[in-house]
């Protein structure tokens, strides 16, 4: 019975996601045509996330270790265990920001419009693809667009989820571009909806997110990337719920 209810909730949640995406699609299409409208596009993503999560009974609680500067460009690094992780940032962030994600998202019926325009897709098995993706991300950071990235590179098959090994890219990028890096612990979202929800369904509830204070990279050299990676790993892992 519990599994049936969770699967029913997943269908209900997906209905609202698709409904509000379709409703906002004309705005997505228009605002994705030109970079100067990316702030408006992200506002639509925030509105979309707030509306569908509200009707599904899913709410997000954010704890900030330090107040963030709305004028500052950041690189956000977070653990990844649920498709809801995208909503976490769409609701939390404002203005000009973009995601980096796997190239399979180019075929996603909802997310493809973003990964063909504002967001960056990457085939992590290809060094050429990764180089191009991080080159584009670096250019966007220089334009003042914050970057949201999940350094594990994927949602792992292990359940309950464990924090997986991080890729080097975002840490080298943060140092190279002298951009503050923010570790984000998405603590219990997997209990609401793990992965895409297909196996265990989803349920209403409160998702807790802990935003660590920014790490200044100004005094770091490229050789410090591994140290930075380990520090971010430990910080994110320290707040996760198993």
Contact in structure between 44 and 28 (CB atoms under 8 Å): yes
pLDDT in tens, 203-236: 999 999 999 999 999 999 999 999 999 999 999 9
The per-residue pLDDT for 100 is 96
The pLDDT tens digits for 128-163 are: 998 999 999 999 999 999 999 999 989 988 899 999
Distance CA(211)–CA(22), nearest Å, equals 31
User: Residue 241's pLDDT is what?
Assistant: 78
Is 80 exceeded by the pLDDT of residue 242? no
* Integer Cα distance of 214 and 68 in angstroms: 8
Strand order from edge to edge, sheet including 181-186: 58-64, 205-211, 181-186, 75-78, 146-149, 97-102, 120-122
3-class DSSP state of 52 = helix
Give residue 2's pLDDT.
82
The predicted-structure confidence for 73-131, as pLDDT tens digits, reads as follows 999 999 999 999 999 999 999 899 999 999 999 999 899 999 999 999 998 788 899 89
Ramachandran quadrant class, 44 (left: phi over 0; alpha: psi -120 to 50; beta: rest):
alpha
pLDDT for 127: 86
Burial of 219 (C-beta count, 10 Å sphere; 0-12/13-18/19+): exposed
The H-or-E segment that residue 31 falls in is: helix 2-31
In angstroms, what CA-CA distances link 57 with 61, 63, 107, 160?
13, 20, 28, 22
Q: Own/partner pairs for 166-170, CB < 8 Å, 24+ apart?
A: 166/77, 166/229, 166/232, 166/233, 167/124, 168/225, 168/226, 168/229, 169/130, 169/134, 170/75, 170/77
* In contact, 159 and 178? CB cutoff 8 Å: no
* Confidence band, pLDDT 50/70/90 cuts, at residue 238: very high
For residues 94-103, b (16+ Cβ closer than 10 Å) or e, as one string? eebbbbbbbb
The yes-or-no verdict on residue 197 having pLDDT over 90 is yes
Average pLDDT of 48-68? 97
3-state secondary structure of 45: helix
Distance from first CA to last CA of the chain, Å, rounded? 24
pLDDT of residue 1: 83
Summarised one tens digit per residue, pLDDT across range 162-194 is: 999 999 999 999 999 999 999 999 999 999 999
Nearest to residue 140, comparing CAs of 151, 130, 148, 152? 148
| pLDDT recorded at residue 134 | 93
pLDDT of 124 reads 79
CB 115 within 8 A of CB 105: yes
- Report the distance separating Cα 154 and Cα 147, nearest Å: 17
């Amino acid at each position: 019975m519990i599994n049936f209810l969770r699967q029913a909730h997943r269908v209900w949640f997906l209905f609202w996601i698709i409904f509000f995406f379709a409703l906002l699609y004309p705005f997505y299409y228009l605002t994705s045509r030109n970079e100067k409208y990316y702030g408006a596009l992200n506002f639509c993503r925030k509105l979309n996330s707030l509306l569908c999560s509200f009707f599904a009974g899913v709410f997000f609680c954010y704890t900030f270790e330090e107040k963030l500067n709305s004028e500052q460009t950041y690189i956000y690094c977070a653990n990844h265990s649920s498709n809801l992780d995208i909503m976490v940032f769409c609701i939390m962030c404002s203005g000009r920001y973009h995601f980096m994600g796997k190239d399979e998202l180019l075929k996603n019926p909802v997310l493809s419009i973003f990964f063909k325009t504002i967001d960056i897709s990457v085939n992590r098995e290809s060094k050429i693809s990764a180089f191009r993706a991080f080159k584009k991300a670096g250019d966007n950071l220089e334009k003042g667009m914050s970057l949201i990235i999940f350094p594990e590179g994927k949602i792992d098959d292990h359940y309950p989820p464990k924090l997986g090994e991080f890729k080097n890219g975002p840490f080298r990028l943060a140092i190279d571009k002298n951009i503050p890096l923010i570790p984000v612990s998405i603590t219990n979202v997997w209990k609401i909806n793990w992965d895409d929800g297909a196996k265990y369904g989803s349920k209403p509830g409160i998702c807790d997110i802990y935003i660590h204070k920014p790490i200044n990279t100004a005094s770091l050299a490229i050789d410090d990337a591994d140290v930075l990676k380990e520090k971010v790993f430990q910080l994110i892992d320290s707040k996760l719920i198993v």
